[in-house]
Amino acid sequence: MTFIPLSATLRKTIESKLPVHRLKSCPLCGTLNAEDNESCFSCGWHGTFVRDPEQIRQSLHELVLDCPEIGDILTQRVVGRPSLIQRMLGIFRRDRKRLDISV
């Protein structure tokens, strides 16, 4: 497989959302596993895992290149609950349209 580098933006996003120190790679099958996994979820290996940060980054990049949908998911902006101020502004804007403030 020829390595195709990811864009700098996607690489930065992936690494910020999936910190390499929380991942490890299986030496048998190359599958990325969460650091907390005692055995590889793919092949069941339960010995020493690869924890080299550069190798983990390379595996992440290959995973995203093989499955671009993962990159899309990682780059999607998470929309959270609006803050109290945003909700209050929304109520004010909504109610202002209903009120006749002309004198």
Per CB under 5 A, residues contacting Zn ion are 26, 28-29, 31, 40, 42-43, 45
Q: How far is the CB of 63 from Zn ion (least distance, A)?
A: 14
Nearer to Zn ion, 29 or 89 (CB): 29
* Nearest distance in Å: CB 94, Zn ion: 54
Beta bridge partners of 23: 34
Q: For Zn ion, give the closer residue by CB, 52 or 72.
A: 52
User: In this complex, which beta carbon is closest to Zn ion, that of residue 45 or of residue 63?
Assistant: 45
Q: Which helix (H) or strand (E) holds 91?
A: helix 84-98
Complex with Zn ion: residue 33 or 71, whichever CB lies closer: 33
Q: Which residues pair with 32 in a beta bridge?
A: 25
Q: Contact 59/3 with Cβ under 8 angstroms? A: no
Q: Which of 55, 51, 25 is nearest to 40 (CA)?
A: 25
In angstroms, the CA 97 to CA 80 distance is: 26
CB of 51 vs Zn ion, minimal distance in Å: 14
Q: How far is the CB of 24 from Zn ion (least distance, A)?
A: 10
